[in-house]
Chains A and B, each alone.
Chain A
Amino acid sequence: QVQLQQWGAGLLKPSETLSLTCAVYGGSFSAYYWSWIRLPPGKGLEWMGEINHLGSTNYHPSLKSRVTISVDTSNNQFSLKLSSVTAADTAVYYCARGRCTSASCRWDFDYWGQGTLVTVSS
């Protein structure tokens, strides 16, 4: 059984950098891309980006200038950094298993972390 456990700071001031980490337990870490997804209040889910065990990343174009996703394969963890946050970045952030690493694999999101509420307020 695959489990994702995430953590990170929940209260930030404008212009600070959001930082979250997600640990993966069970299953094959190297066989998948691992994603970050967020849910702003009153809005729908938004895919932010993904990474595989080799550190290959893909980011949503709307966030590309501010997002960095990194991986720690020795601990089966991946992390999200979002710079220069504003109130618009207030959301529940989730880590999730995205797609397998083969070029033909598509996005699935079959396993999710528990979510972290991040509030940006001065």
Chain B
Amino acid sequence: DVVMTQSPLSLPVTLGQPASISCRSSQSLVYSDGNTYLNWFQQRPGQSPRRLIYQVSKRDSGVPDRFSGSRSGTDFTLKISRVEAEDVGVYYCMQGTHWPSTFGQGTKLEIK
């Protein structure tokens, strides 16, 4: 299975400050169609996971533009330009390129 390694696992952030979460895959996530199937999910307390970003950097409908995704080789990054109180929760990366699909361990974002 492709291993997805996230860091940090805990991320205390001051309101209004930027935040960054890293995710490294154990192998390339570029599929034969040229796309890279790396998604980011947000799970707020008491809620189901919600997809924020798909194919590395495409934001889902309704996702604020303070969220962005990028890639460098097998390293992926989710950035929040200015953290707001509603961003508290656990963030997961997920690869959908290889079977079986696998998730990172999760990064818990909290407000300092």
What are 28 inter-chain pairs, A to B, with CB distance below 8 A? Answer: A43-B105, A44-B103, A44-B105, A45-B92, A46-B103, A47-B100, A47-B101, A58-B100, A94-B48, A98-B101, A99-B96, A104-B33, A106-B37, A106-B96, A106-B97, A107-B37, A107-B94, A107-B101, A108-B37, A108-B39, A109-B51, A109-B94, A109-B96, A110-B51, A110-B54, A112-B49, A114-B48, A115-B48
How far, in angstroms, from A44 to B97 measured CA to CA in the complex?
18
Is there an interface contact between B96 and A108, defined as CB atoms closer than 8 Å? yes
Q: Name B's A-contacting residues (CB within 8 A).
A: 31-33, 35, 37, 39, 41, 48-51, 54, 60, 92, 94, 96-97, 99-106
The CA of A47 and the CA of B1, in the complex, are separated in Å by 12
User: Given A106-B31, A106-B37, are A45 and B100 also a contact pair (CB < 8 Å)?
Assistant: no
Find out whether the CB atom of A109 lies under 8 angstroms from the CB atom of B39.
Answer: yes
- Contact of B49 (CB < 8 Å), options: A47, A58, A99, A109: A109
B99 touches A58 (CB 8 A): yes
- Measured in the bound complex, the distance between the Cα atoms of B104 and A104 in whole Å is 23
**Contact: B101 with A112, CB < 8 Å?**
no
The complex places the Cα of A106 from the Cα of B32 at a distance, in Å, of: 11
How far, in angstroms, from A107 to B51 measured CA to CA in the complex?
Answer: 12
In the complex, residue of chain A having the shortest beta-carbon distance to the beta carbon of B92 = A45
Q: Could you say which of A43, A61, A110 has the most chain B C-beta atoms within 10 Å of its C-beta?
A: A110
Tell me the nearest residue of chain B to A105, going by C-beta: B96
**Is the CB of A113 closer than 8 A to any CB of chain B?**
yes
Q: Are A45 and B49 touching (Cβ within 8 A)?
A: yes
Complex interface bits, A20-53 against B, C-beta within 8 A gives 1, otherwise 0: 0000000000000000000000011111000000
Q: Are B60 and A110 in contact (CB under 8 A)?
A: yes
Q: Does A13 contact B (CB under 8 A)?
A: no
Within the complex, what minimum Cβ distance (angstroms) separates B53 from chain A? 11
Contacts of A61 in B (CB 8 A): 100
The answer to whether A108 touches B33, judged by C-beta atoms less than 8 angstroms apart, is: no
Question: Which residues of B have CB within 8 Å of A114?
Answer: 48
15 more A-B residue pairs beyond the given contacts A45-B49, A94-B48, A110-B51, with a C-beta to C-beta distance below 8 A: A43-B105, A44-B104, A44-B105, A45-B92, A45-B103, A46-B103, A47-B100, A47-B101, A60-B100, A106-B31, A106-B35, A107-B101, A108-B96, A109-B94, A109-B101
